[in-house]
Structure 1
Amino acid sequence: MDPQRQKEEFQYAYVCALAAHAGLNRGQFQVDNDSIDITFQAKGHFGMGRIRSPMIQIQLKCSSQDLIADDVIKFPLKIKNYNDLRGEDVVVPRYLAVLLVPDNLDQWIANYDDHIVLFKSCHWLSLRHYGPTDNEASVTVGVPLMQRLTSATLFQMMDRASAGESL
């Protein structure tokens, strides 16, 4: 398998494990023409929100490059993805998730008799309030290391979506 495709598949597995732990359903569109790789949905009434069966959508990116500087991941995002993810005029909250993996494929997973460990870490960013740019090819966005994507974070994102908001 192509190394980039391996990264994509690994990240799907990573975020799907988080979503399963958070009790969320997952869905994917056959065609990714709106920069959405995966959608998560909660069933029925969720949290204290007013919106039933809330959803969130995520663009997945995975890299083994050293992109960390000043407590952020400096991620070069294609302008199409940037424009699709930014703005407040979408019904479903959208997020960018960047998974950092070791350069060596053999270090992505550690298997033990009683558990498995996935390496390394995934972080998220909302581009909801980002404005337009004059860039034509890409925009480097800063994904804070403190915004770690976890099952609890997915739960919080869904809770905010049920209230008609996003993080």
Structure 2
Amino acid sequence: MIARVPPEPRRIRRRAALSLNHNVHQGYYGEVFVRAIGVAAGLVASRADLDVNGVDMGFEETSDRGGIRAPEIKVQVKTWSAPRSSGPYWDFDGLTEVQFNKLAGPGFRTPRFLVVVVVPTDSPAYCSADDGQLRLSHAAYWVSLRDQDPIADPGDKRRRRVRIPKANLLTPDSLRSLLDDDPEVGR
């Protein structure tokens, strides 16, 4: 009987770290952050192929809710690493007038919301994990611009400040509540 020599263990090659542009990385993190909240809420998340109409993703309920079949919403996700506030509001200056108009005013068949994710300035602080939890930093806030008038002759270089209530913390429960058929919320 000839003894076989076991093969050497396979070495795992380390690949070079993925190098994303800081803004791309931050924006991608924000979208994944919001998507994680949607998944925790038990909603079906979908991503737009192109952001040409002011929407990054949508969330849909898989069952009927209050007579509405498969309610859904659409959201534009923005990230913010240097938040400014005044009293009970965040003062967000990250939308151009063109972007604002794609969310503002009534008449959308599907309610639209702006979701702003407040993120750490350094990407290594985006998340931490141990055997008990995965923690994503920091928090997301939502606002409906349905009651805002669209800007006549909007510019793609001019900014439009949006005041976001600090009370509008995005959680699985608050995200599910945005799917309610409440005209005061987002239609």
Tell me the alpha carbon deviations over residues 19-48 of structure 1, each in whole angstroms, 9 at most, x when there is no partner. 1111100112212111000011111312x2
Query: Please, what TM-score do these two structures have when normalized by structure 1?
Result: 0.90
- Checking the alignment, whether the CA contact within 8 Å between 2:74 and 2:110 is kept in structure 1 is yes
Whichever structure has more helix as a proportion of its residues is: 1
Higher relative contact order (CA 8 A, sep 6+): 1
2:73 aligned partner: 56
Structure 2 residues not aligned, in runs of 5+:
1-19
1:10 aligned partner: 29
- Checking the alignment, whether the CA contact within 8 Å between 1:93 and 1:165 is kept in structure 2 is no
Aligned residues: 162
Shift of 1:106: 2.1
Report whether the alignment pairs 1:69 with 2:86: yes
| Residue pairs, 1:25-104, within 5 angstroms | 25-46=44-65, 48=66, 50-76=67-93, 77-104=95-122
Query: Please, what TM-score do these two structures have when normalized by structure 2?
Result: 0.81
What secondary structure, in the 3-state scheme, does the structure 2 residue paired with 1:65 have? coil
What secondary structure, in the 3-state scheme, does the structure 2 residue paired with 1:146 have? coil
% identical aligned pairs: 23
Q: CA RMSD in A?
A: 1.5
Alignment partners' CA distance in 2, 1:164 and 1:68: 28
Shift of 1:108: 1.7
Larger Rg, first or second structure (1 or 2): 2
Shift of 1:164: 6.1
